[in-house]
Amino acid sequence: MYKGRKKTLTSAQVNDLQQRAEQGESKTSIARDFGISRETVYQYLKAASAV
């Protein structure tokens, strides 16, 4: 059964992403550092806030 694409970031990277976003770093620079799109950054932040 197809369950979608595998996650790009590890849980440790997601925690780092969240901390950097909370500190006010721009989403563009976060995305560039992790090699993902801005939309993916927003998706990870949205998923983290839902938990």
Q: What is the pTM of this model?
A: 0.84
Judge contact between 13 and 30, C-beta under 8 A.
no
Domain ranges of the chain: 11-50
Token pair belonging to 48: 């983290």
Q: What is the pLDDT of residue 23?
A: 96
Q: What is the pLDDT of residue 51?
A: 73
Q: What is the pLDDT of residue 48?
A: 86
> pLDDT tens digit string along 1-51?
888 888 889 999 999 999 999 999 999 999 999 999 999 999 999 998 887
Q: What is the pLDDT of residue 17?
A: 95
